[in-house]
Structure 1
Amino acid sequence: MNMSATARTGHLRARRVGSGSAREVAARAGLTARGVIYLLVGILALQIAFGDGKEQADRGGALAELSDKPFGAVLLWALGVGLVGMALWRLSEALFGSVGRDGHKPRKRLLAAVRCLFYAFVAYSVLSFAAGSGGGGSSDKQSKDVTARLLEVPAGQWLVGAAGAGIVVAGVWIAVQALRRSYHDKMKFGELSRRTRQLVDVTGVAGGLARGAVFAVVGAFAVKAAVDYEPDKAKGLDDALRSFADTPLGPWLLVCVAAGLVLFGVFSFALARWRRV
């Protein structure tokens, strides 16, 4: 009887270890894939700021850039698989909770579920691109098409406006979380030197601020499209980034935001290496 109970305990422990290992692999692969996309988008945006940009500064442009590299097809499939891992990791957080304070509360689980759906869509678009279907076109065209369809349904203006406002709030929340360094309680900072911790903070704060700014601008354009009932005023990532160059600060604001996106890509790599999952 005791031997049977011990065997069952050992079997359950082994299953938990195996499940934890799979979750960790999925999380680290997903964070690495996200870092690659943000790094490429940031570089493309920098090229646009300096007048050399030929590709769209969005996910489609990043994938096109990657496909032109040696072993590009292999890299695209690896990126898609990594993003599938990201979606599965977020799904596990929605089902079983996450690390850090309040990781098992309903609010955290709901946020994880939303992230799961988002990364599942991103993974699908990347894998579609890798398979040769084009991944759905540019983010600008997708935004205008979705906005136009929504405006045609009953209460469409309210739906688009609410979605845009939600994206603005998400952008502000991302920026505030970056300033608060909320990622600290999820990092293995005990393994890092003081200088490395400082570098992680630079990439985390600057990258989070840039990412939040881009989200807020995309949401603001969606709200404007709803108020004016003009779907063409909705903007995807590429047009939103280009709009930074139309401010009184000119292309230098776009340079700062683009550099921030590059830093967020580097920050994602740091999370892939040192985040507790």
Structure 2
Amino acid sequence: MNASASVRSGGIEVKRAARGPVVEGAARAGFAARGVIYLLVGGLALQIAFGDQGEEADRRGALGEIAQRPFGAVMLWVLGIGLAGMALWRLSEVVFGAAGADGRTAKKRVPSLARAVFYGFVAYSVLALAAGSGDGGGSSDRQSKDVTARVLGVTGGQWIVGIAGVGIAVAGLWIGFRAVTRKYHEKLRLGEMSRRTRQLVDVTGVGGGAARGLVFAAAGVFAVRAAVEYQPDQAKGLDDTLRSFAHTPVGPGLLVCVAAGLVLFGLFSFAMARWRKV
């Protein structure tokens, strides 16, 4: 075998490994870990809706709930490793392309890169908390306000924050639209589901995705408001965004609906762990 053939053979083996059982297992573990976090965040938001203002309804609050349970440290290690698996899978999509005909295009690789970085950061924060050297990534509200304040302090900062806010709001609307129109069907092995199972998955996918999109859209609107009014405190993280739903004319009922939707998205993530095309 000549050198070029050896290189080609080696490249094929690497690609097979990137789509092999290890990376597939890592992806499915990542979806399951994401599901746990959304279930907890949704549960914390429900507690807030019914009058318990003690816990933060964000990732740090969810991780704090886990840490307080028996074997909490072990659960955090498992969760962190699962999220690291998600980051690994997304990184493999950047290098080798995602599933599907257009999986190697830039429009697929760039979002995969962003997701790999995001899940890598989340995995690091969870593992640091499990090791006793972190706080789970800190408060989402404080982080949002701090970042907004720093950006507003630079030249053109208002425009940057405003454009970012518009982008987040549009992303939220897009997430909700894709959920309601069931675009996620393209990524699922529907043939392996019974009719009843598919109906249940659609309940979680539509309801959960719509709620998640609404939260993103609301957070984007708050960021735009912070830019327009030049007030960093107007920016809101996940916890403050969720609490804001309780202060609309609809009252706590809207927060209950959104919180229930986030719980549904957690369940949908488990469905993705089982039937997602990887």
1:194-220 C-alpha deviation (Å, 9 max, x unpaired): 000000011001000000000111111
Partner SS state of residue 263, structure 2:
helix
1:156-209 C-alpha deviation (Å, 9 max, x unpaired): 111111111111111011111111211112211111100000000110010000
Partner Cα distance (1:120, 1:164) in 2: 23
Partner residue of 1:124?
124
Larger deviation: 104-113 or 9-18? Answer: 9-18
Deviation at 1:114, TM superposition (A): 1.3
Given that residues 17 and 23 in structure 2 are in contact (C-alpha distance below 8 angstroms), is that contact kept between their aligned partners in structure 1?
no
Partner SS state of residue 129, structure 1:
helix
Deviation at 1:151, TM superposition (A): 1.0
Partner residue of 1:46?
46
Partner Cα distance (1:242, 1:135) in 2: 20
Partner Cα distance (1:217, 1:13) in 2: 45
Partner Cα distance (2:18, 2:222) in 1: 45
Deviation at 1:52, TM superposition (A): 2.4
TM-score, normalised via structure 2 length? 0.92
Partner residue of 1:200?
201
1:60-93 C-alpha deviation (Å, 9 max, x unpaired): 0000001011100011111111111111111111
Partner Cα distance (2:183, 2:163) in 1: 27
The aligned runs of 1:83-232 (5 Å cut-off) are 83-132=83-132, 133-232=134-233
Deviation at 1:108, TM superposition (A): 1.1
The aligned runs of 1:233-244 (5 Å cut-off) are 233-244=234-245
Partner Cα distance (2:220, 2:70) in 1: 36
Q: 1:205 to 1:19 in 2, by over 3 A?
A: closer
Query: Does residue 266 in structure 1 map to residue 267 in structure 2?
Result: yes
Partner Cα distance (2:11, 2:260) in 1: 49
Partner Cα distance (1:75, 1:236) in 2: 25
Amino acid across the alignment from 1:123:
A
Partner Cα distance (1:173, 1:215) in 2: 10
Aligned length: 272
Partner Cα distance (1:203, 1:136) in 2: 27
1:22-70 C-alpha deviation (Å, 9 max, x unpaired): 2101100110110000000000000100112421000000000010111
Deviation at 1:130, TM superposition (A): 2.0
Partner Cα distance (1:150, 1:35) in 2: 32
Amino acid across the alignment from 1:185:
E
Partner Cα distance (2:128, 2:215) in 1: 25
Partner SS state of residue 114, structure 1:
helix
Given that residues 44 and 53 in structure 1 are in contact (C-alpha distance below 8 angstroms), is that contact kept between their aligned partners in structure 2?
no
Given that residues 97 and 104 in structure 2 are in contact (C-alpha distance below 8 angstroms), is that contact kept between their aligned partners in structure 1?
yes
Partner residue of 2:80?
80
Q: 1:22 to 1:152 in 2, by over 3 A?
A: same
Q: What RMSD in Å do the two structures reach over aligned CA positions?
A: 2.0
Unpaired segments ≥5 residues, structure 2:
none
Larger deviation: 50-59 or 131-140? Answer: 131-140
Given that residues 100 and 185 in structure 1 are in contact (C-alpha distance below 8 angstroms), is that contact kept between their aligned partners in structure 2?
no
Larger deviation: 244-253 or 182-191? Answer: 182-191
Amino acid across the alignment from 1:242:
R
Q: 1:188 to 1:230 in 2, by over 3 A?
A: same
Q: 1:16 to 1:150 in 2, by over 3 A?
A: same
Partner Cα distance (1:91, 1:140) in 2: 28
TM-score, normalised via structure 1 length? 0.93
Partner Cα distance (1:118, 1:88) in 2: 11
Q: 1:49 to 1:104 in 2, by over 3 A?
A: same
The aligned runs of 1:5-24 (5 Å cut-off) are 16=16, 19-24=19-24
Partner Cα distance (1:115, 1:15) in 2: 20
The aligned runs of 1:56-75 (5 Å cut-off) are 56-75=56-75
Partner Cα distance (1:205, 1:249) in 2: 22
Partner SS state of residue 135, structure 1:
coil
Amino acid across the alignment from 2:30:
G
Amino acid across the alignment from 1:75:
M
Structure 1 stretches of at least 4 aligned residues deviating more than 3 Å after TM superposition:
8-15
Q: 1:106 to 1:86 in 2, by over 3 A?
A: same
